[in-house]
Amino acid sequence: MSDLNARIEAMHKGDIRVAWAFVLGLWFAIIFVALATWNLAPNGTARVLLLIAGAVILLFNTAAILAMLRHYREDRDFMYGLDIKFLDEARAARR
């Protein structure tokens, strides 16, 4: 059973790393787009609206990923246990 727990923990940590990589990638992408298109906005009001819209996107997407990670932590054993079971069965069927 300890092997199963170690495998679950490894899969969970990997998913956490990937989720945070997506969050960082989103932040960098939004910041890059804001900087690259700053001079394309027709006036200051448009720039403020675009900055607010970008901030809302960042806020909601970051919150959604944090909620997803919380859910993964709560149901970790069930979700990853099923994944491991099916992965092991698929590996055994290929042999």
- Rounded-to-integer distance, Cα 31 and Cα 26, Å: 8
Tell me the pLDDT tens digit for each residue of 56-74: 999 999 999 999 999 988 9
Instruction: Please state the separation of Cα 28 from the chain's center in Å.
Output: 14
The pTM assigned to this predicted structure is: 0.80
Q: Which domain holds residue 30?
A: 2-94
Provide the number of structural domains found in the chain.
1
- Rounded-to-integer distance, Cα 26 and Cα 47, Å: 19
Output the pLDDT for position 39: 92
Q: In whole angstroms, how far apart are CA 18 and each of 15, 24, 29, 43?
A: 5, 10, 16, 38
CB 9 within 8 Å of CB 47: no
**If you average pLDDT over residues 76-89, what whole number do you get?**
92
